[in-house]
Amino acid sequence: MRGIGKVSLIGAGPGDPDLLTVKALKRIQEAEVVVYDRLVSQEIMDLVPPKTALYPVGKKPKSHPIPQEEINQLLVDLAKEGKRVVRLKGGDPFIFGRGSEEAAELVTAGVDYEVVPGITAAQGCASSLNLPLTHRGLATGLRYVTGHCQKDIPLDLDWASLADPNTTLVIYMGLAAIKEISAKLVEHGMPTDMPAVAISKGTTSEEQKVFGTLTTISELAKEAKLPTPTLFMIGDVVGLKGTLELTSYSGSDAKWGERPHLEVING
């Protein structure tokens, strides 16, 4: 009779399979069962061995076909069958991923688990745009904020703190609420011309991005019909767009320059 198995709470990163950690890939290839979210890219799912059992438990906005409580219990039940279980999440499991809720349930049930961190969307998307999240003289702080509240409760954030112009603000799951968020930030003192960018499906072949300002980014994202997941970056670091890209390179002769401005860039 097999003993209790183990659950690996794994961050799959923002979508590019090359951004998986070595440990994450190893656990995926060792797994007997993979319980995975909707935001895990197909390229990463293709790395799962063919004989591994798959349990899709993904959620969509306003559509949670498998409640979180049932996901928690599924992990417990599979582990108690003695299985090597991978719980695969987009980004990092402990950054807006509800991984801590699953971990708490596993602890209560006496199931061993580990956390394998992943590159969160903010890091992946910023790197894809060649933008820093912090930069001396422009951003001395960094804040990650969710733009979506449980059960559609109105956003109740510390707007005065978030409106700090010396902080880069990254908003997850904010597509539906970005207009309200922008208005609140302006109301609490953030400059209306603060650079902003919306990036959809960052680091993947379907990546799209829209550059604007705090007061225009909502309409620009709407006009572009950006699909989820879409992440927003707001701050002076976004104003570095193009300055950290080589426009040409020949031997040791490297030239830096502003890339052409495009409101929507595909791929």
- Supply the pTM of this predicted model: 0.85
21, 40 Cβ separation under 8 angstroms: no
Q: Which residue has the higher pLDDT, 263 or 28?
A: 28
Residue pLDDT, tens place only, 241-262: 988 887 644 444 433 333 333 3
Q: Select from 119, 143, 178 the last residue of a domain.
A: 119
The answer to whether 173 is a known catalytic residue is: yes
- Range 14-28 average pLDDT: 97
| 47 and 146 part of one domain | no
- Judged on CB neighbours under 10 Å (0-12, 13-18, 19+), 35 is buried
Residue pLDDT, tens place only, 150-185: 656 677 889 999 999 999 999 999 999 999 999 999
The answer to whether 255 is a known catalytic residue is: no
Predicted pLDDT at 198: 97
- Please tell me which residue in 89, 173, 209, 241 is annotated as part of the active site: 173
In a domain, residue 175? The reply is: yes
Predicted pLDDT at 190: 96
What percentage of the chain has pLDDT greater than the value 90?
A: 79
- Please tell me which residue in 6, 45, 59, 80 is annotated as part of the active site: 59
For helices 178-187 and 217-224, the axis angle rounded to 10 degrees is 170
| 104 and 128 part of one domain | no
78: region left, alpha or beta (phi > 0 left; psi from -120 to 50 alpha):
alpha
| 187 and 111 part of one domain | no
| 151 and 253 part of one domain | yes
Range of the domain at 154: 122-266
| 114 and 126 part of one domain | no
CA 238 – CA 244 distance, rounded (Å): 11
| 87 and 153 part of one domain | no
In a domain, residue 1? The reply is: no
CA 98 – CA 92 distance, rounded (Å): 10
Q: How confident is the model at residue 147 (pLDDT cuts 50, 70, 90)?
A: confident
- Which residue shows structure tokens 């804040």? 143
In a domain, residue 167? The reply is: yes
| 36 and 103 part of one domain | yes
Our CA dihedral for 102, 145, 241, 127, rounded to 10 degrees, sits at -20
Residue pLDDT, tens place only, 191-240: 999 999 999 999 999 999 999 999 999 999 999 999 989 999 999 999 99
Q: How confident is the model at residue 92 (pLDDT cuts 50, 70, 90)?
A: very high
Predicted pLDDT at 266: 38
Predicted pLDDT at 149: 62
| 146 and 229 part of one domain | yes
14, 121 Cβ separation under 8 angstroms: yes
Residue pLDDT, tens place only, 98-140: 999 999 999 999 999 999 999 999 999 999 999 999 999 999 9
The answer to whether 59 is a known catalytic residue is: yes
- Please tell me which residue in 16, 37, 92, 164 is annotated as part of the active site: 37
Question: Which CATH number goes with the domain that contains 220?
Answer: 3.30.950.10
Q: Select from 84, 104, 119 the last residue of a domain.
A: 119
Question: Which CATH number goes with the domain that contains 13?
Answer: 3.40.1010.10
CA 154 – CA 189 distance, rounded (Å): 21
Q: Select from 85, 100, 119 the last residue of a domain.
A: 119
Taking only Cα atoms into account, the Rg of the chain, rounded to an integer number of angstroms, comes to: 20
CA 127 – CA 122 distance, rounded (Å): 8
Task: Output the CA–CA distances (angstroms, integers) from residue 203 to 17, 44, 152, 231, in the order listed.
Answer: 9, 13, 29, 12
Structural domain count of the chain: 2
| 256 and 179 part of one domain | yes
| 127 and 249 part of one domain | yes
In a domain, residue 213? The reply is: yes
Question: Which residues, other chains included, contact 222 with Cβ-Cβ below 8 Å and sequence gap of 6+?
Answer: none
